[in-house]
Amino acid sequence: MATAGITPIRDQNVLEDETLNLQALPEPILIEIFNHSNLADIKSLSFVCRRFKILSDKENLWQMIAAKHGFFDKIDGYNWKKSYFLHLQQRVNKLMDKMLCYREYALVELAKAIPSRENIEKVNVLVNQGICSIRIGIDCTDIAKAQLEFTKAFPSEENFEKVRKLIEGIILDWQRAYAQIEFTKAFPSRENIKRTNKFIDEIKTDNSLKARAQIELFKIVPSSENLKKAEKIIDQITLAELKDHAQFLFIIALFTTDIKDNIEKEISFLDQFKFIKAFFITDKNENNIEKGIKLLDQLTNPFKKALAQITLFEVIFSDENVEKAYQLIDQITDRYYSDSARLQLLKALIRFSKIDKARELIDKIYDREFKAQAQIELVRAIPSKENIEKAKKIIEEFDEGFYISQEPFNKAQCLIELIKIVPSGEAFEKAIKLIDIIDERLQRDNIHRALHNLIKAYLQ
């Protein structure tokens, strides 16, 4: 019986308010949950409590993870966790030996997943070479993007300065502005916003590229000033098709962004190392949506019109909006684009847990590549054995596709997406075989992109 004024101690295994106390679960179930998590999530879970820290280092957990990736031999003198990471490093190094480009991105992914002194030093050497190359007029766009990815994982003033220098060394004005926009998205400091404005103003090559950059800035800093600036630049585009595309991007921004005029002032109080993402998640501005709907009706391209309607459905969920999306997709005469639009609608339906409607939509997709991507989205939502097997079957039947599905590259890309959700040593070997038969003379860039994506999938 509890004494007055003293709260009785409860059994930690009792579930209060019928909510799930994860720490109260038996060890075998927790091990299974850890086994189905990616490397970053396992690391995060290890910081939750002492019990999770112990579980995250368990031998049987890392033996299961290793087997899932096709590693069945423990390296002499090492436990299963260390053996797994050594096997992973060896596999990635072998893949990187095949790469002539995109290597910098692969190095960054490796350093993020396995932050050893050796891996971080490799990235630093690469970046320092890039900074030196600026002096002799060599473009460093890819190295700048890679350094930004590295900085997201390891934020420091030194890394911020490296990103700034590399972006300044990008030769094309619009590429320089776009790289700065990505930097500002990740770290929206007052200084970065100022630099973004400067680089956008320096774009002289193409007003459509300038408009796209300004729309992206409006999404980061949704002020009336940036809104008006985007409208003004769009009006200056002379080519109808490019203007229509810019208008489409502007509509998407209007649907998904809320104007907040004091945003730059508030950003100045944010620490550059601690960007509060939730700060931007606000109620949608009704005036923006109304304006976007009017502009949507003016779009001439049926594919873009359908995509804009799907975005509206994502913002304002209603049977009317989804029905209108279906109708607009049916008006698209090109089967490739209609399938692409159906894939986007399927993603929106899954987001709202309309799984049965999503399944019905998959049956209406003709192209095998889009059908595979759609089934993979279903696997992402519900990773059941039935859904996984169906995705594998569709990928295997790529040769029945109507458009670009015959290419080994596209088949490999779909398989890699499946590996991200359900890692498998067998699927990895299949992906490698597909990459090996890509025609190097015609698709060298695709080979390296596929290798990079495969490395990224395994290092998640």
Domain spans, the chain = 301-390, 407-460
- How crowded is residue 406: how many other Cβ atoms within 10 Å of its Cβ? 14
Q: What are the start-end ranges of the E strands in 13-104? A: none
What's the confidence (pLDDT) of residue 431? 85
Q: Which two tokens stand for residue 105?
A: 């991105």
- How crowded is residue 418: how many other Cβ atoms within 10 Å of its Cβ? 22
Under-50 pLDDT residues of the chain? 1-19, 262-283, 400-405
pTM score: 0.75
What's the confidence (pLDDT) of residue 264? 47
* Rounded distance between C-alpha atoms, residue 438 and residue 444, angstroms: 8
Contact 80, 63 (CB under 8 A): yes
At how many degrees (to 10) do helices 141-153 and 173-186 cross?
0
What's the confidence (pLDDT) of residue 83? 92
* Rounded distance between C-alpha atoms, residue 148 and residue 9, angstroms: 49
Burial of 230 (0-12, 13-18, 19+ CB in 10 A): buried
Q: What is the pLDDT of residues 8-37, one digit of tens each?
A: 434 444 444 444 577 788 899 999 989 888
**Amino acid making up residue 37:** S
What's the confidence (pLDDT) of residue 119? 82
Any alpha helices (H) in 173-285, and if so which ranges? 173-186, 190-201, 207-220, 224-235, 240-256, 263-267
CA angle 451, 453, 454 (to 5 degrees): 65
Question: By C-alpha distance, which of 109, 100, 161 is closest to 131?
Answer: 161
